[in-house]
Amino acid sequence: MVLEGKKPNIGFHVGTFKELSKKGEEYYDLGYKTFQVFMGDARSFNLDIGPKDISRVRNLLKKDVRLITHSSYPTSMAKSMSSKIWGSSIEHVIEIARVLNSVGGGKIVTHAGSIEDSYDIENGISNAKFFCEDFEDRAGKYGIELCL
């Protein structure tokens, strides 16, 4: 498909928010305008973001740039709501929404989790639906979209 008069919005997975804060301008100057990043360690709920990182990314997003963040791999929406990991998952995603709000927006991609994370498919879907509703109730004010 040819996009007449439009340039494709091309980008790549940078790695982390911190890396984007350090090299984002360089990538932008090379023509990249869409970035997907982990907010910190991909294998934990730890975010590694400082005030300088937020300031640099905020300035980058003032340009024609799209930012898509990826929640860490342990995030599980399908897990039983009484499990410790479910509580950590929702808090992690809400914290990402807070950071995105502070830099001017973006989207969050998260995995729904696996069927093994729940008792059965029906419970897993129900838990994931509640996760999305809880996110919207608690983080909707940030205007950040949660993508599955």
DSSP assignment string, the chain? ---TT-----EEEEEEHHHHHHHHHHHHHTT--EEEEESB-TTSS-B---HHHHHHHHHHHTSS-EEEEE--TT--SSS-TTSHHHHHHHHHHHHHHHHHHHHT--EEE-----GGGSSSHHHHHHHHHHHHHHHHHHHGGGTPEEE-
pLDDT given at position 110? 85
The answer, yes or no, to whether residue 131 has pLDDT greater than 90, is no
Residue 60: pLDDT band (50, 70, 90) is very high
> Which has more pLDDT, 51 or 2?
51
> Which has more pLDDT, 16 or 81?
16
The pTM score is: 0.84
